């Protein structure tokens, strides 16, 4: 009997263990969940649990440990206590500490000693954190164990010494900044700042051979490593001198070969190709979009727009005016700066023209508006986004004239076209700071439309009202005869007092139109 009970108990234990379904989830190099074939890492489930925590164990696809540490069960991105990461060869890569159940900090905030190691097991950096920020000495080492940089931090701000990005601080003030060519000890850029007298500030550029490049301004190809550059990208005069009859500008590829060369005449482009940037971009992000402009005897002949180092648009000029090809320019659209991308044929717009608010929107093909042209005239579909209404207004043009759809003019009037004729208008109106629309057909006011908060404050309602013979007939209308503005309700021309609504207007920026 005892053997039977033991056998049954063993079967039950096996079933319970088996019922905890085991599975493996896979991640790519960006730690996005993926398939096994595309994976760089994996994690076995279910995770070990303790109180409200789970133990995360991640592995390289080779099976070597990648990370081990506890995390909050409800949010695994909140790491707690001691967490370790490993190189694929098994050596420790990082070790960090995070608060758990502390009276002074939330769970997951970094504190204490932090260390990072090279693959050979030697120390790469060691720092000290408190309340999520650097506090104390931060040291970086080369792979032989020698200190490269050392800096004292307070409340996550550098105070004294040299940071890992080769910026030097004294009493909390930046006094020197360097950039080095990657994989070398050669300085590419040195900037000195005199705290007591700014007139003594200086900037010096160097080529990879260590020679000082005088009276020139250099732009570099950035490196992913802080404090380093890959190489020289562009060289030109610090100031284009109008006293110099001739000078040159050079543009290089990442291997150091000259891609473009331009000759200036008294400070202005004259012959060759010149590098230019979008004025909206910072120097650090100008690699996202830049221009190469080609000149012949002082006249622009061609322009190429590069988006992340690939040609995005290219067009030719005639008599210094855009003539053939695709062009990207900065312009103003709906009272704000925007990028426009247009295609021209024989000087006339042809095909699609798109407007973008930000450079990053070009990559995402997220346009503010677009139009189609034929022989320089709008012909075909267009779409314009309204920040106020937060919708797109779509219109079909024929021979440069609105034909079918909706369009909004500068006075915020929405015009509805059918077969080239206006069949309805929504005019934006205001009364005592309240906004609403009046609807017209054939120049006769036929209705109104109010946007307001519903009684529960949990959503927006649109209240329409219809006129007949110029008088309220059905729906909602302002009652302005009393101090509290209300929406009176009419049915068949008769006011219905019991169905009136208090008008709690929403802001103009929140208006939506059907």
d(CA 357, CA 368): 6
Q: What is the pLDDT of residues 355-394, one digit of tens each?
A: 998 877 887 788 889 999 999 999 999 999 877 667 789 9
| Confidence (pTM) | 0.63
Quote the tokens at residue 289. 């979009």
CA distance readout (Å), 110 to 70, 97, 139: 14, 6, 18
User: How many structural domains are present in the chain?
Assistant: 4
Domain holding 98: CATH number?
3.90.930.1
- Looking at the fold, whether 59 and 109 belong to one and the same domain comes out as yes
Contacts of residue 478, defined as CB under 8 A and 6 or more positions apart, other chains included, come to 431, 434, 436, 448, 450, 485, 486, 487, 488, 503
Tell me which residue of 213, 271, 211 sits closest to 246, measured CA to CA. 271
Question: Of 111, 146, 164, which residue sits at a domain end?
Answer: 164
- Interstrand relation of 173-181 and 391-398 (parallel, antiparallel or unpaired): unpaired
Whether 208 maps to a domain, the answer reads yes
- Looking at the fold, whether 157 and 52 belong to one and the same domain comes out as yes
Whether 394 maps to a domain, the answer reads no
What backbone torsions phi and psi does residue 470 show, to the nearest 5 degrees?
80, 5
Helix H, strand E, coil C: the string for 214-276 is CCEEEEEEECCCCCEEEEEEEEEECCCCCCCCCEEEEEECCCCCEEEEEEEECCEEEEEEEEE
How does DSSP assign 310-334, residue by residue?
Answer: EEEEEEEEETTEEEEEEEEEEEEET
- Residue 344, Ramachandran bin (φ over 0: left; ψ between -120 and 50: alpha; else beta): beta
Whether 408 maps to a domain, the answer reads no
pLDDT confidence of residue 18: 42
Whether 314 maps to a domain, the answer reads yes
Quote the tokens at residue 24. 């493996």
d(CA 381, CA 319): 32
- Looking at the fold, whether 193 and 288 belong to one and the same domain comes out as no
Q: Domain limits at 249?
A: 174-266
- Looking at the fold, whether 311 and 257 belong to one and the same domain comes out as no
pLDDT confidence of residue 281: 67
- Interstrand relation of 380-386 and 377-378 (parallel, antiparallel or unpaired): unpaired
Residues of the chain with pLDDT under 70: 1-21, 238-245, 281-287, 388-389, 428-435, 443, 450-462, 480-485, 500-514
Residue 167 near residue 181, CB atoms below 8 Å:
no
pLDDT confidence of residue 9: 40
d(CA 104, CA 366): 44
DSSP state of 36: S
In DSSP terms, which residues pair with 228 in a beta bridge? 180
Burial class from Cβ neighbours inside 10 Å (0-12, 13-18, 19+) for residue 487 reads: buried
Q: What count of other Cβ atoms lies within 10 Å of the Cβ of residue 368?
A: 22
Question: Of 266, 282, 315, which residue sits at a domain end?
Answer: 266
Q: What count of other Cβ atoms lies within 10 Å of the Cβ of residue 473?
A: 18
- Looking at the fold, whether 361 and 460 belong to one and the same domain comes out as no
Residue 50 near residue 65, CB atoms below 8 Å:
no
- Looking at the fold, whether 141 and 64 belong to one and the same domain comes out as yes
- Looking at the fold, whether 217 and 314 belong to one and the same domain comes out as no
Q: What is the pLDDT of residues 389-425, one digit of tens each?
A: 677 899 999 999 999 999 988 777 888 898 998 888 8
Whether 405 maps to a domain, the answer reads no
Peptide bond into 46 cis (omega under 30): yes
CA distance readout (Å), 257 to 82, 250, 262: 49, 10, 15
Residue 362 near residue 386, CB atoms below 8 Å:
no
Helix (H/G/I), strand (E/B), else coil: 91? coil
Whether 402 maps to a domain, the answer reads no
- Looking at the fold, whether 279 and 379 belong to one and the same domain comes out as yes
Residue 344 near residue 323, CB atoms below 8 Å:
yes
- Looking at the fold, whether 159 and 87 belong to one and the same domain comes out as yes
Question: Of 164, 189, 214, which residue sits at a domain end?
Answer: 164
- Interstrand relation of 228-237 and 173-181 (parallel, antiparallel or unpaired): parallel
Contacts of residue 292, defined as CB under 8 A and 6 or more positions apart, other chains included, come to 251, 260, 273, 274, 275, 276, 303, 304, 306
Quote the tokens at residue 49. 């649990």
In DSSP terms, which residues pair with 349 in a beta bridge? 344
Quote the tokens at residue 292. 């190469």
- Looking at the fold, whether 89 and 128 belong to one and the same domain comes out as yes
- Looking at the fold, whether 132 and 194 belong to one and the same domain comes out as no
- Looking at the fold, whether 341 and 321 belong to one and the same domain comes out as yes
What backbone torsions phi and psi does residue 361 show, to the nearest 5 degrees?
-70, -25
d(CA 235, CA 219): 7
d(CA 76, CA 83): 13
Whether 214 maps to a domain, the answer reads yes
d(CA 328, CA 276): 13
Whether 423 maps to a domain, the answer reads yes
């Amino acid at each position: 009997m005892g053997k039977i009970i033991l056998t049954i108990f063993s079967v039950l234990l096996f079933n319970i263990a088996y019922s905890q379904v085991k599975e493996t989830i896979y991640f790519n190099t960006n730690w996005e969940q993926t398939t096994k074939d595309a994976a760089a890492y994996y994690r076995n489930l279910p995770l070990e649990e303790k109180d409200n925590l789970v133990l995360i164990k991640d592995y390289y696809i080779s099976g070597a440990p990648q990370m081990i540490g506890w995390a909050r069960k409800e949010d695994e991105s909140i790491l707690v206590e001691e967490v370790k990461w490993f190189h694929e060869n098994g050596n420790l890569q990082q070790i960090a500490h995070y608060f758990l159940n502390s009276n002074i900090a939330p769970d997951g905030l970094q504190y204490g000693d932090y260390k990072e190691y090279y693959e050979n097991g030697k120390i790469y950096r060691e720092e000290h954190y408190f309340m999520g920020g650097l506090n104390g000495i931060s040291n970086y080492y080369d792979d032989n164990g020698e200190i490269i940089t050392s800096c004292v931090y307070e409340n996550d701000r550098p105070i004294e010494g040299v940071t890992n990005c080769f910026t030097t601080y004294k009493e909390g003030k930046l006094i020197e900044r360097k950039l080095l060519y990657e994989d070398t000890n050669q300085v590419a850029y040195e900037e000195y700042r005199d705290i007591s007298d700014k007139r003594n500030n200086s900037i010096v550029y160097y080529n990879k051979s260590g020679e000082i490049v005088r009276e020139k301004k250099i732009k570099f190809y950035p490196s992913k490593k802080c404090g380093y550059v890959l190489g020289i990208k562009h060289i030109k005069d610090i100031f284009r001198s109008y006293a110099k009859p001739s000078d040159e500008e050079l543009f290089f590829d990442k291997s150091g070969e000259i891609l473009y060369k331009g000759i200036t005449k008294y400070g202005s482009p004259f012959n060759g190709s010149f590098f230019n940037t979008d004025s909206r971009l910072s120097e650090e992000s100008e690699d996202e979009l830049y221009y190469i402009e080609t000149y012949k005897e002082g006249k622009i002949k061609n322009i190429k727009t590069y988006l992340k180092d690939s040609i995005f648009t290219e067009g030719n000029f005639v008599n210094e005016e855009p003539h053939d090809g695709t062009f990207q320019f900065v312009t103003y659209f709906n009272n704000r700066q925007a990028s426009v991308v247009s295609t021209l044929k024989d000087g006339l717009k042809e095909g699609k023209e798109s407007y973008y608010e930000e450079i990053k929107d070009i990559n995402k093909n997220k346009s503010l508006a677009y139009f189609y042209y034929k022989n320089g005239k709008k012909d075909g579909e267009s779409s314009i986004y309204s920040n106020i209404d937060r919708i797109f207004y779509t219109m079909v043009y024929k021979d440069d004239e609105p034909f079918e759809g909706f369009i909004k003019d500068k006075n915020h009037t929405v015009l509805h076209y059918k077969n080239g004729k206006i069949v309805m208008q929504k005019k934006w109106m205001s009364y005592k700071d309240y906004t609403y629309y009046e609807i017209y057909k054939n120049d006769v006011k036929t209705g109104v439309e109010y946007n307001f908060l519903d009684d529960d404050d949990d959503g927006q309602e649109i209240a329409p009202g219809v006129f007949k013979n110029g008088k309220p007939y059905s729906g909602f209308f302002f009652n302005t005869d009393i101090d509290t503005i209300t929406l009176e309700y009419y049915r068949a021309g008769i006011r219905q007092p019991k169905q009136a609504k208090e008008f709690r207007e929403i802001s103009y920026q929140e208006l939506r139109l059907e």
